[in-house]
């Protein structure tokens, strides 16, 4: 775009391109929603103190930007975001063509002081930099609230009909809504068409103003020159605070002194926003990249791939094998008379070669004992045993305890055990094939504890003259519905209490 201007009227190195101005406008338009978003998050945590601030955000932001923009216009000659792009605002000379190129080259310092914004020009620029955007936001919000009602209801919309005895406030609101529904759409269209026309004229170097409002106040936007940088450096230096006679040592330089705060602390605080703005932009772009890329996922996976976490230890779980006490000795199923005869025989005569001697207590510990079957967990409400699956061991920690296959879509119950999502969902829902088969009596026990029950059922059925074995376990067992498949403890919330494990 600068090349196009140079082809027509010569190259102007102090005239910014249209894309610089549009970038500055976009950056300035991003600040209010960003601050509102941060304030909304803080209000959710402390609504008692920040709710009123959030409800009056537009007014408070306008007052804040009024102070910030005024400081930057007086010190740097441009707005807050304009100074970030190295731009300034200056008055337009009331001469033919509005330019004095020879004077600008020969006496740049004098030309800068001549074109510098005066106090009246600063307030005019504040009106279009702060007041106009605030008014535009409020009109847009009001239009979005009141205009759709008339658009939906059509000509029959007479909810806001003005009565003959209406108050002044109601009359004002009535005419305000009528303005929004009938006139404001045309005003809004004229606003954007005028911006487009001035942008095109500025693009082809037919206008010095990129906006119709800058044309109204006689101000244009330029790049900072070397003389501007020297003047800004001198203006940014804090003035010396004169010490009052009779003041205590350090009293004149105290931060709480009103004169020190107005001349030193306040300007430095506002000038530090120049560093805060690029820092916040860099932090925002870094967070966008962090959440959009898979670098965070790869980093967390790299940090946890060497960790071999054991299964959780939960109190109340029965052990799988109970060791046989050394004090107990195996007893043969014989009567008391036979036991006494055998004892006398052994004590009076030596045993034959074919007869094995009775093992001593020390050798009894070496005899492998049959593990004692553990007891199933008992329901505290129905007092029935609960159907569970074996607890995973380190050798099977990567397998699902229910289906005994590699875990697919790892899902954790509230007890800490990890299952396949499909398996634990069906188990908590009570529709898993393993549960149904167990309750119908088609499968054996899980931990070995229901084998005793099958044996007792078989003895009872044979005592009653029946030859069948097994049968339905309804009313004798709980299927484990709504419970953890390993511990038998209830899962709060049912299937909604399951959580996916991010690996």
Residues with Cβ within 8 Å of residue 320, at least 6 apart in sequence: 371, 374, 390, 391, 447
Q: Are residues 48 and 184 in the same domain?
A: yes
Quickly state the pLDDT bin for 260 (edges 50, 70, 90).
Answer: low
Considering the domain boundaries, does residue 339 fall inside one? no
Q: What is the DSSP string of 4-62?
A: HHHHHH---TTSPPHHHHHHHHHHHHHHHHHHHHHHHHHHHH-HHHHHHHHHTHHHHHH
Q: Which residue has the tokens 């054991």?
A: 310
Total domains, the chain = 2
Percent of the chain with pLDDT over 70: 64
Which of the residue ranges 202-206, 240-244, 401-405 would you say has the lowest mean pLDDT?
Answer: 240-244
Name the nearest CA neighbour of 321 among 369, 385, 364, 384. 369
Pairing of strands 219-223, 410-412: unpaired
Tell me what pLDDT residue 398 has. Answer: 81
Per-residue pLDDT of 136-194, as tens digits, reads: 999 999 998 877 766 655 555 555 567 778 888 888 988 888 898 889 999 999 999 99
pLDDT at 308 (0 to 100): 62
Q: What is the pLDDT of residue 58?
A: 93
Arithmetic mean of pLDDT, 449-457: 46
**What CA–CA distance (Å, rounded) separates 226 from 224?**
7
CB of 177 closer than 8 Å to CB of 159: no
Q: Which helix (H) or strand (E) holds 338?
A: helix 336-348
Residue 213, H or E segment: helix 212-217
pLDDT of 272 higher than 50: yes
Q: Are strands 87-91 and 219-223 parallel, antiparallel or unpaired?
A: antiparallel
* 367 part of a folded domain: no
Strand 418-420 to 219-223 pairing: unpaired
Q: What is the mean pLDDT of residues 197-215?
A: 92
Rounded distance, CA 191 to CA 199, Å? 12
CA distances from 75 to 108, 126, 143, 186, 342 (A): 18, 14, 38, 39, 116
Radius of gyration of the chain (CA): 43
Query: For residue range 106-138, what is the model confidence (pLDDT) as tens digits?
Result: 777 788 888 889 999 999 999 999 999 999 999
Please state which of the ranges 44-48, 215-219, 467-471 shows the lowest mean pLDDT. 467-471
Measured in whole angstroms, the distance separating CA 64 from the mean position of its chain's CA atoms is 28
On the 0-12 / 13-18 / 19+ scale of CB atoms within 10 A, 468 is exposed
pLDDT value of position 416: 84
Integer Cα distance of 261 and 267 in angstroms = 9
Q: Which of residues 271, 291, 313 is at a domain's end?
A: 271
User: Is 147 within a domain?
Assistant: yes
Of 206-210, 381-385, 395-399, which range is least confident?
395-399
Is pLDDT above 50 for 6?
Answer: no
Per-residue pLDDT, 361: 41
Q: What is the pLDDT of residue 63?
A: 94
Of 81, 79, 38, 80, which is closest to residue 57 (Cα–Cα)? 38
- The pLDDT of residue 314 is 56
Residue 342 lies in a domain: no
Residue 299 to residues 290, 306, 501, Cα–Cα distance (Å): 11, 13, 16
SS3 406: strand
Instruction: Provide the pLDDT confidence category of residue 303 given band limits of 50, 70 and 90.
Output: low
CB–CB of 83/76 below 8 Å?
Answer: yes
The more confidently predicted of residues 262 and 336 is 262
The answer to whether the CB of 90 falls within 8 A of the CB of 116 is yes
- Give the pLDDT score at 345: 38
Average pLDDT, the chain: 74
Residue 307 lies in a domain: no
- Provide the 3-class DSSP secondary structure of residue 259: helix
**DSSP E strands: which ranges in 92-204?**
none
For residue 214, give every residue at least 6 positions away whose Cβ sits within 8 Å of its Cβ, in sequence order, or none.
128, 220, 221
Q: Quick check: is 70 in a domain? A: yes
Nearest CA among 253, 245, 59, 240 for reference residue 138: 59
* Domain extent at residue 408: 394-500
The span from the CA of 311 to the CA of 67, in Å, is 61
403 domain residue, yes or no? yes
In a domain, 469, yes or no: yes
**pLDDT tens readout for residues 401-450:** 888 888 888 888 888 888 898 899 889 888 888 888 888 877 554 544 44
The span from the CA of 179 to the CA of 139, in Å, is 10
Dist CA 499 CA 428 (whole Å): 13
Number of H helices, E strands in the chain: 22, 5
Say which residues have a Cβ less than 8 Å from residue 160's Cβ, sequence separation at least 6: 173, 174, 177
The tens digit of pLDDT for each residue in 328-381 reads 444 444 444 444 344 443 333 444 444 444 444 444 444 444 444 567 888 888
Instruction: Indicate if the pLDDT at residue 217 is higher than 80.
Output: yes
Nearest Cα residue to 388 out of 425, 438, 315, 433: 438
Confidence of residue 37 (pLDDT cuts 50, 70, 90): confident
Positive or negative: CA dihedral 224, 227, 230, 233: negative
């Amino acid at each position: 775009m600068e090349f196009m201007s140079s082809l027509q009227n010569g190259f102007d190195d102090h005239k910014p391109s249209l894309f610089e101005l549009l970038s500055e406008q976009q950056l300035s338009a991003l600040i209010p929603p960003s601050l509102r978003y941060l304030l909304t998050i803080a209000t959710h945590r402390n609504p008692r103190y920040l709710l009123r601030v959030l409800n009056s955000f537009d007014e408070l932001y306008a007052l804040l930007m009024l102070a910030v923009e005024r400081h930057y216009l007086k010190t740097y000659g441009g707005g807050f975001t304009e100074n970030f792009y190295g731009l300034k605002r200056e008055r337009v000379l009331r001469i033919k063509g509005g330019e004095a190129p020879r004077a600008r080259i020969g006496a740049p310092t004098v030309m800068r002081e001549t074109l510098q914004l005066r106090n009246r020009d600063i307030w005019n620029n504040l009106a279009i930099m702060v007041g106009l955007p605030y008014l535009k936001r409020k009109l847009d919000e009001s239009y979005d609230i009141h205009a759709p009602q008339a658009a939906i209801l059509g000509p029959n919309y007479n909810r806001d009909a003005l009565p003959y005895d209406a108050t002044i406030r109601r009359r004002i609101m009535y005419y305000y809504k009528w303005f929004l529904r009938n006139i404001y759409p045309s005003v809004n269209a004229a606003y954007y068409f005028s911006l487009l026309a001035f942008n095109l004229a500025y693009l082809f170097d037919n206008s010095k103003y990129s906006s119709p409002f800058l044309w109204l106040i006689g101000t244009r936007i330029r790049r900072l020159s070397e003389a501007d940088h020297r003047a800004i450096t001198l203006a940014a230096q804090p003035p010396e605070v004169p010490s009052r006679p009779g003041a205590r040592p350090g009293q004149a330089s105290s931060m709480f002194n009103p004169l020190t705060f107005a001349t030193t602390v306040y300007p430095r605080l506002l000038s530090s926003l120049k560093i805060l703005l690029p820092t916040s932009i860099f932090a925002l772009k870094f967070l966008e990249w962090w959440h959009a890329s898979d670098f965070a996922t790869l980093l967390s996976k790299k940090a946890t791939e060497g960790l071999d976490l054991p299964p959780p230890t939960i109190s109340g779980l029965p052990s799988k094998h109970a060791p046989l006490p050394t004090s107990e000795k195996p007893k043969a199923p014989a009567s008391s008379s036979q036991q006494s005869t055998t004892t006398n025989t052994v004590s009076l005569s030596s045993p034959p070669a074919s007869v094995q001697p009775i093992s001593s207590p020390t050798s009894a510990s070496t005899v492998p004992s049959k593990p004692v079957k553990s007891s199933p967990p008992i329901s505290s409400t129905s007092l029935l045993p609960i159907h569970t699956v074996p607890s995973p061991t380190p050798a099977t920690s990567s397998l699902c305890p229910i289906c005994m296959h590699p875990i697919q879509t790892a899902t954790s119950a509230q007890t800490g055990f990890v299952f396949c999502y499909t398996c634990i969902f069906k188990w908590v829902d009570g529709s898993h094939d393993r549960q149904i088969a167990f309750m119908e009596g088609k499968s054996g026990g899980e931990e070995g504890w229901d084998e005793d029950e099958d044996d007792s059922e078989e003895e009872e059925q044979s005592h009653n003259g029946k030859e069948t074995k097994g049968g339905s376990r309804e009313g004798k067992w709980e299927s484990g519905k709504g419970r953890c498949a390993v511990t038998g403890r209830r899962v709060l919330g049912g299937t909604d209490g399951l959580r996916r494990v991010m690996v």
